[in-house]
Amino acid sequence: MCIARRNDVSTGSPISGLSRLVLLVVAMWTSAMALAQPASGEVDGKHGAQRTSYRVINLGPGTIATYPDINTAGQVAFSMVNGGRTAGFFFDGAAIKNIGSLGGGITYANDLNEAGQIAGTSINEQGVENAFVWSAGGGMLDIRAEPGRGRSYGWAINNRGVVTGSFGDSARPFRWSHAGGVEDLGVTPAFQQPAGRVLNDAGLIAGVTTIDDEFTRVFAWTRASGLVDIDTLGSVESSPVAVGAGGEVAGNRLASWDDGGDRPFLWTRATGMVDLGIGRGTTAWVNAMTPGLHIAGGIGFADGRQRAMSWTRRSGIRELGTLGGRTSVARGVNAKGQIVGFAEDKAGAMRAFVWSAGGGMLDLNRLLRRVPPTLVLEHAMAVNDRGEIVASSNAGLVLLRPDQGRKAGPTVGPIVAERTIEVGAPLQASVSFVDGDRVGTRGVDWSWGDGSGGAARRIDERAGVASARASHSFSAPGNYTVTATVVGRDGRRTVVSQEVEVKAP
């Protein structure tokens, strides 16, 4: 697949290694919690375009561990941290499934293809990272290159089921397929610690490598050419983000160590690496690209402002505006030209947006149909060609489907409760939800994370929004995961959670 997820969610600028996961976790915990104002089916007076309204499907509670992926069928792959555990999940369009692990209980789902196959990295029973490929029919397959030796990482999978990543303590790039198994892409003396990061259906793999122990450069690999340094601009750092259908590579580069920041590039065999410029800013970067070469990302300014960015061959770099605040960054783009990301509103709160040439930038919170007023969308992360959007919210990860009058299960808002409380003091908690198809919910179950819990004794409804309240006192200090499970009449269970720190008095 060609959309990357591995940049800092708080700034949109490229980072690498474990730090990107730390920053992602921090950003999701510290994002704004103000109330949204739902609306639907409105006409945008500024642009005269009909606004799409969306139904919300809760995908999972907790903190996002890796950027989610969505394919054309509306299937979603994602990883969440909840209750101190990191797990990978697959949404098949109707139900959510935990994809398991290789024995160590930790799984990162890194990429999803059109067939519903997931590539990623999981911890095995010895506590070592190993690449995997997962499918609903075949489960999780360990694709480590050297059984019992070293670690491996699965970064990307194409629509033919080919996986790329790196293996061994020396980080050698690999190509894997069911038919051929693991294939070492080869390392010449000039290349150190290369790793495959993205690939297309034709088999071109792009990745990163170190040259002469000093420069980090982007490489391209094909069976015909082998491993080739494609940084013809001589950057001190460069890395790929996506590969186009025709073998084009897009990514980010640092021209020199004292340069102002990252700059986006596009490489083709005909032109070599071309710097795409920085617009009016001092830096710019790519976060995603379609197979047809529509790029989305951000532009940074000397005063700290950021602007969501679009690039096409026809229009070049284009700033997409904000929702009234100082910052916006684009995270995903589809073949129809819709771009999603996050932007600050006038109050400085983070809000998820969708942008199109005809409609401009719109706050997704104002386009939701039948949701509890406590639900807030903070960051739109991925969009497919049907216009379905994956976003983070104060209730966890959610999927937004354009409203077509179909029946929907309950949409659940966040648990509202204190995040810190003393031992013995009553914790007052509440959760609100809306039944999308106007069929009553069967019940709400509470779990307090200390082994106790039970069904809500009473569910109140007002103006179409139902709510359940509960109270609990903890007997020992510690960190607890409070969970509310809304159970529909069809048996569908929607879960939201909140971490609570209990302190000694």
For residues 230 and 334, membership in a common domain is answered with yes
Structural domain includes residue 5? no
Which pLDDT score is estimated for 488?
A: 83
What is the percentage of the chain residues whose pLDDT exceeds 90? 73
Q: Which of 357, 375, 406 is the last residue of a domain?
A: 406
On whether both 222 and 304 belong to a single domain, the answer is yes
Q: What pLDDT shows up at residue 104?
A: 93
- The tens digit of pLDDT for each residue in 247-285 reads 999 999 999 988 779 999 999 999 999 999 999 999 999
Q: Determine the Cα angle at 28 with ends 93 and 70, to 5°.
A: 25
**For the chain, what percent of residues have pLDDT higher than 70?**
85
DSSP code, position 358 = T
Find the mean pLDDT for residues 170-183: 89
pLDDT for residue 27 = 38
> Residue 149 belongs to a domain with what CATH number?
2.130.10.150
57 falls within a domain: yes
Do the Cβ atoms of 221 and 228 come closer than 8 Å?
Answer: yes
Calculate mean pLDDT across residues 14-32.
36
With respect to residue 420, please indicate whether it lies within any of the assigned structural domains: yes
Reported as a single tens digit per residue, the pLDDT across 309-341 is: 999 999 999 999 999 999 999 999 999 999 999
Nearest to 32 by CA among 433, 342, 485: 342
> Average pLDDT, stretch 74-89?
96
Q: Which residue is it, tokens 């059109």?
A: 114
Q: Given this model, what pLDDT does residue 210 score?
A: 81
Q: What is the number of structural domains in the chain?
A: 2
- DSSP conformation class of 473: E
Does residue 412 register a pLDDT over 90? Answer: yes
Residues 444 and 316 grouped into a single domain: no
3-state secondary structure 118-134: EEEEEEECCCCEEEEEE
* Domain membership flag for residue 13: no
Separation between Cα atoms, residue 496 and residue 413, nearest integer Å: 8
Q: Are residues 399 and 416 in the same domain?
A: no
**Mean pLDDT confidence for 442-468:** 92
Tell me whether residue 10 is in a domain: no
Considering the domain architecture, whether residues 416 and 401 belong to the same structural domain is answered as no
**Shared domain check, 318 and 192:** yes
Confidence of residue 30 (pLDDT cuts 50, 70, 90): very low
pLDDT value of position 214? 74
Q: Are residue 364 and residue 400 in the same domain, yes or no?
A: yes
pLDDT for residue 161? 97
Q: Which of 382, 406, 430 is the last residue of a domain?
A: 406
Mean pLDDT of all residues in the chain? 87
- Which stretch of 98-102, 441-445, 476-480 has the lowest confidence by average pLDDT? 441-445
Higher pLDDT, 396 or 8: 396
Q: Which two tokens stand for residue 200?
A: 């297309």
What DSSP character marks residue 29? H
Average pLDDT for residues 82-105, to the nearest whole number?
95
Provide the pLDDT for residue 28: 37
**pLDDT of 403:** 87
Please check whether residues 38 and 121 belong to one and the same domain: yes
Give the CATH number, domain containing residue 449: 2.60.40.10
pLDDT of residue 5: 39
Note the pLDDT of residue 407: 67
How far is the C-alpha of 329 from the C-alpha of 296, rounded, in Å? 9
Supply the DSSP symbol for 30. H
pLDDT(36) > 50: no
Q: What is the pLDDT of residue 149?
A: 58
* Same domain flag for 260 and 393: yes
Domain end marker among 372, 406, 440: 406
Average pLDDT score over residue span 463-477: 94
Please check whether residue 356 lies inside any domain of the structure. Answer: yes
Tell me what the mean pLDDT of segment 195-213 comes to.
90
| Phi-psi map region of 126: left, alpha, beta (phi>0 left; psi -120 to 50 alpha) | alpha
Query: What is the spatial distance between Cα 214 and Cα 341, in angstroms, rounded to a whole number?
Result: 34
- Domain range holding 438? 412-503
Q: Are residues 392 and 440 in the same domain?
A: no
Q: Are strands 478-488 and 493-503 parallel, antiparallel or unpaired?
A: antiparallel
Is residue 39 over pLDDT 70? no
Task: Mark whether 188 and 320 lie in a shared domain.
Answer: yes
Chain segment 348-385, per-residue pLDDT in tens = 999 999 999 999 999 999 999 889 999 999 999 999 99
CB 8 within 8 A of CB 23: yes
**Domain assignment present for 9:** no
- In terms of domains, do 301 and 382 share one? yes
pTM of full prediction above 0.85: yes
165 in Cβ contact with 196 (< 8 Å): yes
Write out pLDDT tens, residues 40-68. Answer: 333 344 444 568 999 999 999 999 999 99
pLDDT for the residue numbered 31: 38
Mean pLDDT of 296-301: 98
Tens digits of residue pLDDT in 111-158: 999 999 999 999 999 899 999 999 999 999 998 655 555 789 999 999
